[in-house]
Amino acid sequence: MKIGFIGLGIMGRPMAMHLKAAGHELIVPERASLAPELRAAATIDSDAAAVAHHAEIIILMVPDTPDVERVLFGAHGVAEGLTPGKLVIDMSSISPVATKEFAARIQELGCDYVDAPVSGGEVGAKNAALTIMAGGSIAAFERALPLFQLMGKNITHVGEEAGAGQVCKVCNQIIVALNIQAAAEALTFARKAGADPAKVRQALMGGFANSRILEVHAERMINRTFNPGFRIRLHQKDLNLALTAAREMGMALPNTALAQQMFSVVTAQGGADLDHSAMVTAIELMGGVEVE
């Protein structure tokens, strides 16, 4: 198929290349930042409208809600190039409320819409092992599924209502943030108490406290490898979605709010673009723990 792909950053680039490797024709908008491998692999169009005009399916993988709105409905946006029968798949992580509005506007043009945010970070994108959470009609999901299977392994149709995938992604980000906070507090406590954090982690991985966060992110905390797999500023964006929605529903998310504040401590120290495992530096700061 002819696949338009808009948003070719840390996650989007390997995702798009998996589609190309499977034999699909890749169409992308011109950007000065386009990697040489993409220029060699894809047809380059002038803008998002041209991409949508030439593609059968258009995939978005951009940072935030305003970015999706601009790409879809801004000047020379996707909507300008759509014709009835096409499918728009938004794999960004954005507001569930805005997603419903975006889907309705695209459907008014005679096109299908699936929201399909992902989890798994850069590693999952590179290994085609992403978790994909989709919302939209069964027919639209089944049309998108062969493409999802080229980019991910755990693929779930969460619900037929647009925005269902985004709700699931917000839930994912709450759990991930709180588990990072738990691992950060435990390892900082171990260090402050005089124990070797690496050996503590090794011991915990054999018990009920084991998790993917303990395996991957706790190792980053110990090794101080905070180059971004998933940036703090993006995780903050996702937690803002959770807290805003919770406020609108009249409910409290106390631990989510605390995790957000821990990220804010790191951001205040200039760490917004560090990996979210760098939350540990906020816990260390508050605990008076210095790590060489």
Report, as residue numbers or ranges, the catalytic residues.
169
Give the 3-state DSSP-derived string for 93-153, with helices as H, strands as E and coil as C: CCCHHHHHHHHHHHHCCCCEEEECCEECHHHHHHCCCEEEEEECCHHHHHHHHHHHHHHEE
The alpha-helical segments, DSSP class H, found in the chain are 12-21, 36-41, 48-54, 65-73, 78-81, 96-107, 121-126, 138-151, 164-192, 197-204, 212, 218-223, 232-249, 254-268, 280-287
CA distance 244 to 261: 15
